[in-house]
Amino acid sequence: MRSVASTTDPSSPAAAERGLTLLLGGARSGKSALAVELARRQDRPVVYVATASAGDDDMAARIERHRHERPDHWTTIEEPIDLSGALERSAGSMVVIDCLTLWTSNLLECGTTDDEVTARATSVASRAIRRDAPTVAISNEVGMGIHPETPLGRRYRDVLGRVNQAWAAAAGTSLLLVAGRAVRLDDPWLHLVDTS
Share above pLDDT 90 across residues of the chain, in percent, rounded to a whole number: 70
Annotated active-site residue in 66, 73, 147, 191: 66
Active site residue 191: no
**Which tens digits make up the pLDDT trace of 10-38?**
444 444 456 999 999 998 899 999 999 99
Q: Are β-strands 181-184 and 173-178 bridged in parallel, bridged antiparallel, or unpaired?
A: antiparallel
**Which tens digits make up the pLDDT trace of 86-138?**
999 999 999 999 999 999 999 999 999 999 999 999 999 999 999 999 999 99
**All structural domains of the chain:** 20-183 (3.40.50.300)
C-alpha–C-alpha distance, residues 194 and 80, integer Å: 43
C-alpha–C-alpha distance, residues 189 and 186, integer Å: 8
Give the pLDDT of residue 14: 44
Q: Is 21:133 a contact under the CB 8 Å cutoff?
A: no
Q: Is 31:183 a contact under the CB 8 Å cutoff?
A: no
